[in-house]
A and B are shown apart, each in its own frame.
Chain A
Amino acid sequence: MTFESIVNDNEKLYRSLKEDQIKDGRISKSAFRNNKSGISCNAAKNRCNLLIKRQLIKQFLNIDKHVHSCVLSISDIRNLAKAYPFYVPEKHNKYHSEIWESETDRKQSVLRKAIELSKIAKLYFEYPSKR
């Protein structure tokens, strides 16, 4: 596995959500729990919104009938949530990134991080749109 710390404050990470993880514009803490690895996201890497959305739809529409996602800024992840974002490219997804517990520990083991990440995450888009 190759990985690289994300230091660009202008970078953004996008994470898919389930419909039940959204209520009144708020995001459930469960969206930011993980298992053995870090919290998986897709990085923007200078792509326009259209390309970012297209990738999320392609990646998650076969899992569910709807695709929902949120966006987190790198500065908020580092400064407010005290978590560590990394590029972790995969064979089939060069934009794959993860949010880690620390510089060396991938797993987010504490609920506090999920609480903080849910506060800074902003709803990004849903597909198909209900509006």
Chain B
Amino acid sequence: MQQVISKINFLPSDAIITVNSTMVSNIFKKTTETTSSSMFYNFNIVEFKLRKIRNLNDNWDGYGSQRITENTIKKSQFFAKYLRNLDFINPTPNSGIMFEYKNGKKELILEIYDSMFDFAKVDGDNVEEFYGLIFNETEIINLIKWLNDDI
């Protein structure tokens, strides 16, 4: 029997997502006991926002930007399982999706495209930027660890 762990009720009725143990196991490939409730919260927010982004048409910002490709959305879904301290998630005119995380004075800005990503690490007034990186899971995990003071 599936155990319902979380149900997000503040979203519009068409966006309510019920999280059950089977779904969690499939997504995280690990037991539910090791998965925090904050991860569920962020995961659902991201899924909801990505659904909105998927439905955007060309000129979604009134400045002539093109819609976001399905491949970019799929790449972005990858992040949902690592999210903590999410501040913003928005499409960009480069047909990318920008994730902004904030943890005290530290900020991590990731812009994801079809097969590449840019990022900037902000720590107070210091800004460190990297561009055109090949999509690499280890690199992303290290960035999120940096933000969360795990490394």
Contact = CB atoms under 8 A, between A and B. Distances in A.
Q: Do A and B bind each other?
A: yes
Interface of A: 16, 18, 20-21, 23, 28-31, 33-35, 40, 59-60, 63-64, 109-112, 114-115
Contacts of B59: 63
Contact of A28 (B60, B66, B98): B98
A115 B109 contact: yes
Nearest to B87: A23
Given A63-B62, A115-B122, A29 B109 contact: yes
Interface in B89-128: 89-96, 98, 100, 109, 111, 118-120, 122, 127
Contact of B88 (A30, A59, A110): A30
B49 interface: yes
B120 A111 contact: yes
Those 9 A-B pairs whose CB atoms lie nearest each other, nearest first: A30-B90, A111-B120, A63-B62, A28-B88, A30-B98, A33-B92, A35-B93, A60-B62, A40-B63
B111 A33 contact: yes
Interface of B: 49, 52, 59-66, 87-96, 98, 100, 109, 111, 118-120, 122, 127, 129, 131
A21 B120 contact: no
Contact of A33 (B52, B62, B88, B94): B94
A115 B61 contact: no
Given A29-B100, A29-B109, A109-B131, 9 more contacts: A16-B61, A16-B62, A28-B90, A28-B100, A29-B98, A33-B96, A64-B62, A114-B109, A115-B120
Contacts of B93: 33-35
Which secondary structure characterizes the binding site on chain B? strand
A13 B122 CA distance: 26
A110 B131 CA distance: 8
A63 B49 contact: no
B94 A35 contact: yes
Contacts of B90: 18, 20-21, 28, 30-31
Residue of B63, B109, B118 with highest tally of chain A CB at under 10 A? B63
9 contacts: A28-B90, A28-B98, A29-B98, A29-B109, A34-B93, A63-B59, A111-B118, A111-B129, A112-B127
Contacts of A23: 87-88
Contacts of A112: 120, 127, 129
A64 B63 CA distance: 12
Contacts of A114: 109
